[in-house]
Amino acid sequence: MRTRCGGLVCVLWLSLVSGFAQQNGVPPGSARRPMTLDVAVTDKAGKAVSGLQQQDFTLLDNKLPQKILSFDAVTAAADPPVEVILLVDEVNTTFTKMGSERDQIERFLRGNGGALTRPVSMVFLADSGMTVGGAPSQDGNALIADLRQKWPALRTVGRSQGIYGAEERLELSLHGLQQLIDYGQTRPGRKLVVWISPGWPILSGPNLQITPKQQRQIFDSIVGFSDGLRQARITLYAADPLGVEDAAGFRTFEYKAFLKGMKTAGQVQFGNLALQVLAAQSGGRVLNSSNDVAGEIAACIADANAFYVLSFDSLPGDGPDEYHALDIKIDRPGVTARTRSGYYAQP
């Protein structure tokens, strides 16, 4: 049986997210725009690599080498400091799983006697919307107290409601992402957002049909979130709290089919807006199949131990929302660079 995504919830969601895209879209203007990239460089063991120079980097925009206008090698003592945001997703994580997830978050915050290496803030996504905890703090024990004060309520939207429940969870999740972007744009410096969640429903497959109009709206949303995350300097990480329970499951690799940057509306599906896809495209990481959520959080934050900030003149588009793929090459064996996979250029 084929299901057409045309119900009231879906229409409302598409209109809402289309509005987000228009809000965050880059208006036409000058032909070339300076663009800043945060670049994480790691060795084969996944550890941050420091000590690189500008001449070690080659930046490609649509496979064309670009001049690096500025270069900064950032250490752990960044100014302003890199802010870490731990987002507790109560919409897409079952109520029974929330207890063990919170235990893992507390284990991370309690490490080193509660003395955190950089400012951390807590954000909670529930059926009622997104709420921000207290101010960013390096006191893990104070953050634990903040976490315990915000105990999750029973969910009103669940998997038992079928595709319409999935649509509502998708709507709540993407609305929360936009709120997070708005919050990030009010904060200085770079932000590492660890979204602790198995991810929101992808809603893609042979049994789900979407119209060309809906594809256009989804494409506008992709452009809006891409621009918004970049402008807020948010690197997104997806940490799956289901652990080995989810290991080798379809969910752990389904997102990989949607990683390629979308060039036209006719290509898109809802899967192009998956949490894991947005995380990988922002230069972050997708972590799953491990019960050590505390270790996954620490691994994400380790990206801030040493990273590089590059700027270049982005190329103009031949038309609106023209996708440009980005790639960073490092002139040193055994290292890998991660940054945003692309951007949408304007005429």
Closest CA to 235 of 114, 87, 334, 346: 87
- CB–CB of 107/62 below 8 Å? no
Give me the chain's average pLDDT, please.
88
Q: Within a 10 A sphere around the Cβ of 97, how many other Cβ atoms?
A: 14
Whether 243 shows a pLDDT value over 90: the answer reads no
Closest CA to 309 of 233, 225, 224: 233
Q: Within a 10 A sphere around the Cβ of 44, how many other Cβ atoms?
A: 9
Q: How do beta strands 57-61 and 64-66 pair?
A: antiparallel
- CB–CB of 305/77 below 8 Å? no
**5-14, 93-102, 179-188, 287-296: which has the minimum mean pLDDT?**
5-14
Q: Which two tokens stand for residue 47?
A: 């550890």
Per-position b or e across 248-267, b if 16+ CB within 10 A of its CB: eeebbebbeebeebbbebee
Q: Which residues pair with 312 in a beta bridge?
A: 35
The two most distant CA atoms of the chain are separated, in Å, by 57
pLDDT confidence tier of residue 77, bands split at 50, 70 and 90? confident
Return the axis-axis angle of helices 162-184 and 212-231, rounded to nearest 10°: 30
Whether 14 shows a pLDDT value over 60: the answer reads no
- CB–CB of 257/272 below 8 Å? no
- CB–CB of 122/137 below 8 Å? no
Q: What does the domain layout of the chain look like in residue ranges?
A: 32-76+315-347, 78-304
> What is d(CA 136, CA 266) in angstroms, rounded to the nearest whole number?
42
Please write the tens of the pLDDT for every residue from 128-180: 889 999 899 999 999 999 899 887 765 555 544 444 488 899 999 999 999 99
- CB–CB of 326/341 below 8 Å? yes
> Residue 124 belongs to what H/E stretch?
strand 115-126
Local structure of residue 155 (DSSP, 8 states): P
Q: Give the global pTM.
A: 0.90
> What is d(CA 294, CA 101) in angstroms, rounded to the nearest whole number?
9
Q: Which two tokens stand for residue 300?
A: 């994400």
User: Position of tokens 């590059």?
Assistant: 310
CA atoms within 13 Å, Cβ hemisphere of 73: 11
- CB–CB of 48/284 below 8 Å? no
> What is d(CA 229, CA 244) in angstroms, rounded to the nearest whole number?
30
Percent of the chain with pLDDT over 90: 73
Whether 327 shows a pLDDT value over 70: the answer reads yes
Q: Which two tokens stand for residue 78?
A: 């960044």
* CATH class as words, domain 78-304: alpha beta
> What is d(CA 225, CA 214) in angstroms, rounded to the nearest whole number?
16
pLDDT for 113: 95
> What is d(CA 54, CA 73) in angstroms, rounded to the nearest whole number?
9
Please write the tens of the pLDDT for every residue from 31-63: 578 999 999 999 999 999 999 999 999 999 999
Q: Which residues pair with 23 in a beta bridge?
A: none
